[in-house]
Structure 1
């Protein structure tokens, strides 16, 4: 079977969603399927040749709109500007204004049309049997849903679209209309479990098109990590890898908690965001807070390997989950899991992990501090055997999920 995967980009800066899709596609190819990929390129996002190994052939087209808009917002530090200054910039940059309006109210119609055209072209020239759109961004699914092709249409939904906590209600109403239309035109929609759980606005017939799956991040056949000797300085390294957001993943509580922990507990942060909050705690924690900034995937893997205890900071919404969580679990190392809400989707994964302490954000008490210290002493230099991880999370492997999805796609 010939399957076309439609993705946002294949650059070295592509997000976790693209990596998940490529790993699924690689597994599909082992079952005798031919995998094609369609993606856009611009001045910043060119195809990373390392990713060519996942598919049989890659088709690209140029789309500068997002790049131009992102560059403009970044250069002008848009989020820090007052409304009057934003209006002034719009007056002198009418094309940027039009691109902003197109993205916000018309689901990036210019790029969407280009995706639609290229989907039709690739399907016609290569006799594609099935097309799979992977989102975000949502306009990829919209482009596929409106393309007049003979191939079956599928959608892998890795992020929520309508139920986005940052959106005003009027935009949610618009998005709900678009999302329902896309659902109607798809054969099947494959959504991450915590994304699907929050879609309560679909009718019964549309709900039948759903298939919910877990994050496919647990490796099969991996060797258990070797336990490294204790540090001569008696330092215990906690590591956090990822992004902070002031609204949904604010690091204030996590950093405040660390300021109360023993002086030999060090927190290494690999990533960025919420700089003002982090800078404040650099002063409070001093050398105990080490910030490496954004790092490449190789350094991120070394960070996992060198840490004594891993830290997962969750979101303040129930339909988003840091994809790093399953990568942490995959290491077998002790995990400090910090939730912001009682119905945190991470708990479904962490409650069965043998070396995990779950903490829900609240007032920091002596009892909470003592629980972290006790957990650290009890689990320091311990590791869960990878065979046990594979057994506990058998439905979180790429092999399991790719086979299930493929059973729906192959006709």
Structure 2
């Protein structure tokens, strides 16, 4: 049986957005191949090895993994904005595995890709198949400042190019297409463009007991003052709740906006701060919701996987738009039960009335949603992406 190794950031049970997607694909592959996932520990109490479903998880710790300030400084002074200790952590575990046929680094973190590239230098027969969810050279958040990014750009593009050349092929999320075609055009035959693999009927199509008397609205995810500030969203929802009376907003979040959330939860007791929870618990809360909330970023360099997860639940979606170039706008316009709210609209009564009308008058047709997903988002199916990997695993060089 062939061995396929996935490299991720945090994984089960503390999934990152990327590993949440990757796990869906792994579950489709684990009965056809020997699958090993290598990832950093997120808690010192986590076992270094364990079996999850039918695949093995191998965890490691690395220097300064718990010191955010030190890690930030190391990224700033590294010409590629990378952590060498993290790269070596992956490499050490890769070298302990006797025979590997394919490595799939899940990006971000980009360190997974570099570790794979270095492993291939020692074993030319190894197939490297990066699955890139986030940008690297053009990721201003990773490089902390646009000036630093500009200074490093030549090095960043060179290391991207080296990775592409060493790869068997690359799975790239659609929003990366423009960058890779423009900057690395000569290797375009290696690119396979797909979507976040989160549309899985069996995983989400579960019955839930919803109290129809009250309407439960749920937000899960992060809030950050600079890129995803919740102030406007909470101001609007406070107004919506006051006009309706039977709406409850539950917020399961992390980030640096706890004071903002606390302020509005004190203003309105139906805005309930539930603090952060694990991805599994967040998923259960989304399943039991009537409506899901999305809040866009003030930058448009990424397409958060969250929106695909929301669509998978076949719920009504309220989406607050901060940037007119937000990539999620195009996606949600294809989905029949989403309402887009422009944060540039300062008329709170107008916005609130529109939201209340959407909540009261729009009913969800699950058959229609299934048809839309199958027609428009077929490349967001874990089976679709797993089949691509299977076909290539079985090809001879």
Query: 3-state SS of the aligned residue for 2:274?
Result: strand
Query: 3-state SS of the aligned residue for 1:67?
Result: coil
Residue pair 2:238, 2:268 contacting (<8 A) in 1 also: no
User: 2: CA distance between counterparts of 1:119 and 1:330?
Assistant: 34
- For 2:94, the equivalent position in structure 1 comes to 119
User: 1: CA distance between counterparts of 2:366 and 2:113?
Assistant: 39
The correspondence for 1:238, drawn from 217, 226, 239, is 217
- For 2:374, the equivalent position in structure 1 comes to 391
The Cα of 1:153 is off from its aligned counterpart by 1.3
Aligned pair in 2 of structure 1 residues 47, 196: CA closer, same or farther (>3 Å)?
A: farther
TM-score norm. by structure 1 comes to: 0.81
Residue pair 1:158, 1:192 contacting (<8 A) in 2 also: yes
The Cα of 1:204 is off from its aligned counterpart by 1.7
Query: 3-state SS of the aligned residue for 2:303?
Result: coil
The Cα of 1:96 is off from its aligned counterpart by 7.8
Residue pair 2:218, 2:292 contacting (<8 A) in 1 also: yes
- The answer to whether residue 303 in structure 2 is matched with residue 321 in structure 1 is yes
- For 1:79, the equivalent position in structure 2 comes to none
Counterparts in 2 of 1:262-301, with a 5 A limit?
Answer: 262-263=241-242, 264=245, 265-273=247-255, 274-283=257-266, 285-301=267-283
- For 2:359, the equivalent position in structure 1 comes to 376
- For 1:189, the equivalent position in structure 2 comes to 170
Counterparts in 2 of 1:2-401, with a 5 A limit?
Answer: 2-30=3-31, 32-41=32-41, 44=44, 46-47=46-47, 52-55=52-55, 57-60=56-59, 62-70=60-68, 73=69, 99=74, 107-122=82-97, 125-126=98-99, 128-147=100-119, 148-149=122-123, 150-166=125-141, 167-168=145-146, 169-199=150-180, 201-221=182-202, 223=205, 225=207, 228-231=210-213, 235-263=214-242, 264=245, 265-273=247-255, 274-283=257-266, 285-365=267-347, 366-379=349-362, 382=364, 384-385=366-367, 387-388=370-371, 390-392=373-375, 393-401=377-385
Aligned pair in 2 of structure 1 residues 337, 223: CA closer, same or farther (>3 Å)?
A: same
Query: 3-state SS of the aligned residue for 1:260?
Result: helix
User: 1: CA distance between counterparts of 2:288 and 2:57?
Assistant: 36
Summarize deviations over 1:137-182 as a string: whole Å, max 9, x none: 1111112112221211111112221212333222444323322222
- Shifted more, 37-46 versus 398-407: the winner is 37-46
User: 1: CA distance between counterparts of 2:151 and 2:172?
Assistant: 24
Consecutive unaligned residues of structure 2, counting only runs of 5 or more, are: none
Consecutive unaligned residues of structure 1, counting only runs of 5 or more, are: 74-94
Residue pair 2:14, 2:278 contacting (<8 A) in 1 also: no
Aligned length: 377
Residue pair 1:314, 1:338 contacting (<8 A) in 2 also: yes
User: 1: CA distance between counterparts of 2:81 and 2:335?
Assistant: 43
- For 1:92, the equivalent position in structure 2 comes to none
TM-score norm. by structure 2 comes to: 0.84
Aligned pair in 2 of structure 1 residues 120, 359: CA closer, same or farther (>3 Å)?
A: same
The Cα of 1:375 is off from its aligned counterpart by 0.6
User: 2: CA distance between counterparts of 1:113 and 1:325?
Assistant: 33
Residue pair 1:4, 1:38 contacting (<8 A) in 2 also: yes
Query: 3-state SS of the aligned residue for 2:24?
Result: helix
User: 1: CA distance between counterparts of 2:116 and 2:80?
Assistant: 19
Aligned pair in 2 of structure 1 residues 287, 160: CA closer, same or farther (>3 Å)?
A: same
